[in-house]
Amino acid sequence: MSEAENSTSELPAPLVSADVDLRGYEFMPLYGDRLLGSETWISASPEGKVAAVRLWWRAYAKEIPAASLPDDDKLLAEYAGYGNSRRTWAKLRTQALRGFVKCSDGRLYHEFLAPLAIEAWTIRLSQSAKARKRWNGKAAAHAAASGLDLPGIPPAHAAADAAVMQGQERKGKQPPSISPPFVLPKTIDPKVWAAFEEHRRAKRAPMTDHARWLIVGKLDEYHAKLGNDRNAVLNQAIEFGYQGVFPLKKSSTDLGVPPAAKPKEWWETDRGIEEKAKQLGIAPEETLAMLKARVFMAVGDGPWFAKLDGVVAGYIQDFSQQEQRERSA
C-alpha cells in the first residue's frame, strides 16, 4: 500500500452517505444559542463568521453529499466569497473551516451539519414516497390526454433521482421520487400557465414543483373565497410584474391606475371665466385678473372667493370702492 493510500485509509469514513442530496432546499436549521455561544463564533473575526456561514450553506444545500465540501482551496475561496482575494482567504481559512473534518473520500464534512442533513434527507425521501403513491399515474395520464409538455422534477434534483433510480432498479424496487411531480389542473388554461412560467423565468425566479403547487393552492383559495377566475389572477400577475399571485383588483385605483380627472368648474379655468363673462354681458378687461374680479362681483358669493389670489382680491376692492363713489356722486 502506497503512502497516499495509507494516509487516506487512516481518515474517518464519510459522515454522510453519497446519495444525500438537499439541493433545492431554501432553508437550513440554525440553533441560535448553540451558535452564538460556540467557540467558533466567539473567536472568529467578522469576516471569518461571514465566510463560515457561506460555507455552511454551500455544504448543506448545494453539494453532494450534503454537509460536505471539496478539499480544494480555489473552490473554497470562491464559496466563502474570497475568490478574488486568495491571500485573504488563506488568513481566514482556519476560522471558516472550523468544524469540518477530512474523510476517506477526500471531502470535508461538517460534524454538526452532517446529522441535520441526514435527518432532512430522511424526511425528503418519506415525503416523496407518499407523494409518489398519491400522484402515481396521474401525471402521465394527464399529459397524454392534454398533449402538454409541462415541467416535472426540477433540474437540481435530476442527478439525485437518477442515482436513486439506478440503485433501486438493481434491487428490483420502485424508486422514490425526490419531489412530487406537478400536474396542471384542468381549471387552468395551459397557455396562461405557460405564460406565467415564462414570466417567472424572466424575473429569474423559476419555480420548483413545490412552488407550483403553492401557486395552484392560492388560485383555488381566491376562487373559492372571492370568486376570482384563476386564469385572470395569473394574467394579473404577469401584467403587473408580480412574482406571486394576489386577489383580483376591484377598481382602476386598486390597479394603480389614477382615476379620471374631475372636470374643473368654470371659475377654475381662464376659459371658463371668459365664457362666464360673455354670459353675463361683461366687457373684456385689460387683464384676466381684472376680468375675474368683474365676474366674481357679478355672480356674488361662492367657492371662488375662498381661492382668490391677492391681485384679483385687490381689483375687487378697487371696483367696489369705485361703484360706491359712483352711487354717492
C-alpha to C-alpha distance for 155 and 166, rounded to whole angstroms: 17
Shortest CA distance to 183 belongs to which of 234, 218, 132?
132
Any domain includes 133? no
pLDDT for 219 equals 94
Tell me: do 254 and 321 sit in the same domain. Answer: no
Tell me: do 207 and 309 sit in the same domain. Answer: no
Q: Which residue segment(s) compose the domain that 75 sits in?
A: 3-118
> Is the pTM higher than 0.85?
no
Q: How many CB atoms lie within 10 A of CB 188?
A: 18
Tell me: do 253 and 281 sit in the same domain. Answer: no
Distances in Å between the Cα of 300 and the Cα atoms of 1, 266, 292, 297, 320 are: 113, 14, 12, 5, 12
Domain end (from 99, 118, 137): 118
Any domain includes 135? no
Provide the strand spans (E) within 52-195. 68-70, 100-102, 107-110
Any domain includes 114? yes
Tell me: do 255 and 299 sit in the same domain. Answer: no
- Model confidence pLDDT, tens digit, residues 46-71: 888 898 999 999 989 899 999 999 99
Tell me: do 31 and 80 sit in the same domain. Answer: yes
Tell me: do 219 and 321 sit in the same domain. Answer: no
Shortest CA distance to 320 belongs to which of 294, 302, 283?
294
Any domain includes 323? yes
Domain end (from 103, 118, 133): 118
- How far is C-alpha 240 from the geometric centre of its chain's CA atoms? 14
The domain tally of the chain equals: 3
pLDDT for 7 equals 56
Tell me: do 196 and 280 sit in the same domain. Answer: no
Q: What is the DSSP letter of 71?
A: S
pLDDT for 317 equals 82
Any domain includes 130? no
Tell me: do 200 and 282 sit in the same domain. Answer: no
C-alpha to C-alpha distance for 224 and 246, rounded to whole angstroms: 14
Tell me: do 276 and 254 sit in the same domain. Answer: no
Any domain includes 18? yes
Residues of the chain with pLDDT under 50: 1-2, 143, 147-178, 252-255
Any domain includes 56? yes
Tell me: do 228 and 313 sit in the same domain. Answer: no
Tell me: do 198 and 300 sit in the same domain. Answer: no
Tell me: do 102 and 27 sit in the same domain. Answer: yes
Q: Is there a contact between 193 and 148 (Cβ–Cβ < 8 Å)?
A: no
Indicate the helix (H) or strand (E) that contains 230.
helix 230-240
Per-residue three-class SS string for 238-296: HHHCCCCCCCCCCCCCCCCCCCCCCCCCHHHCHHHHHHHHHHHCCCCCCCHHHHHHHHH
Any domain includes 140? no
